Chains A and B, each alone.
Chain A
Amino acid sequence: MARLFSILLILCFAFPYSGLAKIVDETEIDEKVREIAKTLRCTVCQTENIWESGAPLAHQMRDAVRERVIQGQSAEEIREYFHSRYGDYIMMEPPKHGMNWLIWLAPFILLLGGGILLWREVKRWVTRSPKPEAKVSPPLDEKSQRRIQQELNL
């Protein structure tokens, strides 16, 4: 009898709580998965990572990442696993070795090199250009000077 009563009591308290909204949130695992997934390329899409992609293979790769995160593997280990299976292609950017240095350094070399060349060329033009003759003219008053400066800037 007492048992029945206590069961009923528990039910009275439990029942209202089953209707309360549950606040869900991402777990630390979710965040880790996202972080790693964003660095792996979806192999059947064009430059999308497996986090963004809706392809089934991407979904399965995300699951594979999740499993490994749960097992406790580090981001580097997981990336290395995928790299061993799919090669450089699975990385979202060319790994910095060998011929790939070309593409990583080219923009800076082009900018620097181009800048230097341009600088030298402009300098050559400046030294070569005829200098405007120095003309002696009466100094202008403040207002006119300001006005002229303005017009010159436009």
Chain B
Amino acid sequence: MTRTTQITILIVLLGLLSLFYQGLWGDPRHIPPILIGTKAPIFEGPDVESGEPLSSKKYQGKVILVNFWASWCQECKVEHNNLLKLYDEFKDHPEFIMLGINYQDEMPKARAYLKQYGSSFPHVRDVKGALAIDFGVYGVPETFVIDQKGVIRHKWIGPIVGDVYTNLTNKILTPLLNKSAPTI
């Protein structure tokens, strides 16, 4: 076996080893967000609780936090209280809007969920899954932050808990909202 062959085999094996090792700690389900920096789609649908039509057009020019959830989703339950807390924290800011989007769900189940776990901000029902596809959503929960210009600035796949929560409030929402903070 020639030197070149030996070295080639060694390089291939070591390359594979490093690839597999790195692959072990990566999450195969994590998909990098490609919509960051692009214009967010306008979305509309019936309000989950009242049935009235709700449209994001109404909120153009504001910072919108969009959260996709479903009554059958376990991780959504985990983050639900944090979402309520977050809304409570920011609701007084005139430019802050929070909207939930109910994904692949049934109206009665969604209503029951909100009744049971609490609801303080409006929720839109994604009737045909078109809203989710428009946002490039794979599953729930997924959360987006849209700035005043309508550009998607942040996306998170998974529940908003712990460090994720603090990062969202301190590093994402607060700076965006302070840019146009009312003059003190």
Contacts and interface: CB of A to CB of B under 8 A. Distances in A.
Interface in B132-156: 132-136, 138-139
Given A43-B138, A57-B138, A60-B104, A85 B129 contact: no
Given A60-B130, A64-B133, A85-B134, A44 B139 contact: yes
Interface string A45-87: 0000000000011011101100100000000000000101111
A63 B130 CA distance: 8
Contacts, number: 44
Contacts of B34: 85-87
A45 B103 CA distance: 18
B41 to A, nearest CB: 9
B55 to A, nearest CB: 18
A85 B31 CA distance: 12
B128 A63 contact: yes
Interface in A19-55: 43-44
A61 B129 CA distance: 8
**Chain B's interface: helix, strand, loop or mixed, by majority?**
loop
A82 B128 CA distance: 16
Contact of A60 (B32, B35, B128, B135): B128
B16 to A, nearest CB: 15
Contact of B35 (A59, A67, A85, A89): A85
Given A56-B104, A57-B139, A89 B31 contact: yes
Nearest to B139: A44
B133 A85 contact: yes
A85 B136 CA distance: 5
Which of B31, B32, B35, B129 has most A Cβ within 10 Å? B129
Nearest to B130: A64
Interface residues of A, number: 16
Interface bracket on B? 10 to 19
Contacts of A86: 31, 34, 136
A56 B34 CA distance: 22
Given A43-B138, A44-B139, A60 B132 contact: yes
A59 B128 CA distance: 10
Which of A82, A85, A86, A89 has most B Cβ within 10 Å? A85
Which of B104, B133, B134, B135 has most A Cβ within 10 Å? B133
29 contacts: A43-B31, A43-B138, A44-B138, A56-B104, A57-B104, A57-B132, A57-B139, A59-B129, A60-B130, A60-B132, A61-B129, A63-B129, A63-B130, A64-B128, A64-B129, A64-B130, A64-B133, A82-B133, A84-B38, A85-B34, A85-B35, A85-B135, A85-B136, A86-B31, A86-B34, A87-B31, A87-B32, A87-B34, A87-B136
